Amino acid sequence: MTSSDDRPAAGLTDAEVRTIRADFPILQQDVNGQPLAYLDSGATAQRPRQVLDAERRFLETDNAAVHRGAHTLAGLSTEAFEDARVTVARFIGATSPAEVVWTANATDAINLVAYGMANASRGRGGADAARFVLGADDEIVVTEAEHHANLVPWQELAALTGATLRWVPVDDDGCWRAEDAAAVIGPRTRVVAFAHVSNVTGMIAPVEQVVALAHAVGALVVLDACQSAPHRPLDVGALGVDFAAFSGHKMLGPNGIGVLWGRSELLDALPPFRTGGSMITTVTMEHSEFMPAPERFEAGTQPVSQAVALAEAVRYLDAVGTDRVRLHEEALAQRMLQGLATIPGVRVVGPAAGVPRSGLVSFDVDGVHAHDVSQYLDAQGIAVRSGHHCAQPLHRRLGLVATSRASTYVYTTDEDVDRFIAAVGSIRAYFGADAAPAGVVR
């Protein structure tokens, strides 16, 4: 691949996508006798050979515990570990690498913030942590569209502190607007948490407007960037949020590593909730003192090879160009929407065709359960997600138990999408649903 500096500001050509696709060993296989069309990157992305090789190379030559030894391998592993932090910090527009905290995944990162605030509310962290203290007069605001990972931790924080959890409602398409948020965010709001991009509808949130609303009342903003960091340029400084979380496995990287970004002054004041070795300065039998961020949140043995691999995934995306990835995926989403619109009995949720959305499309096939849809497509070598996508309240609001979701990435081709559309077009006839009364699931 060539450097992103040599590329025009446009989406990827078919030839470029096929060159990229050749970097992914798993995509070279047949599934159920058909070439694999992998349309489940919203759940977990595949990894290019460069990322696999980077982790393997580290494990074969440099592997050792970081920040814990004076021997050569310890020094090499620590250098690689911290270089990965620098790479990721640069990728998301962080002011300093110290603003990047390694976590187990995005769910862990969001819990870190929520339970850190719970600890502050119990008196941990002293005066420096006062801005995180919540009580019965305070409110936490989320949206009705949130992934459970950005809902349940805030439910728990409300239960632990007596704060009230409120939410921004969605419309019949599963979308919400800045004016909807303005009607919920008020003087009692202390935290506003929402997804940059919905993992169900593909809706792109009005981040700047919500940040302005939240900061006007002194509230902190926590951004779930799981569906944005891998798929579009992410500049946390420009967005103005206070915390952001995303996972490695959704952006060409390994499982077992996530990222919490936070403003330095906030991270240094937030009490840790996971404690132990490596995150302390002094320990006596009666008391412990914690290091500044990011080490104060990185207790225990760290995901070192995973960090190295994630940094390589970031370099891969940089080489392609994240804005080109965005344009490529958005074009594929519109292609899917246009194709699905021609199929009777298919309901797409989320923004309408022509309205900006990310490269994923969730849909319901009248008369056929989402799991049957997924299995039918799988028989033809097409991998999609089925279920409630860890967003039960959103599906309940839409009057659906589950949907099927096709999600694209940098390696998705027009042919993948066209095969998908053709297959969806034959589902209702296969299950006899085209002859069933509307709304009857066989």
3-class SS of residue 142: strand
Nearest CA among 356, 363, 359 for reference residue 405? 363
Specify which residues 383 forms β-bridges with: 38
Distance CA 199, CA 358 (A): 9
Distance CA 409, CA 230 (A): 9
State the distance between the two ends of the chain, measured CA to CA, in whole angstroms: 48
Of 331, 379, 390, 401, which one is the catalytic site residue?
390
DSSP 182-250: HTT--TTEEEEEEESB-TTT-PBP-HHHHHHHHHHTT-EEEEE-TTTTTTS---HHHHT-SEEEEESTT
226 catalytic? Reply is: no
Q: Residue 68's CB: how many other CB atoms inside 10 A? A: 13
Residue 306 in contact with residue 286, Cβ under 8 Å?
Answer: no
3-class SS of residue 261: strand
- Give catalytic residues, as residue numbers: 390
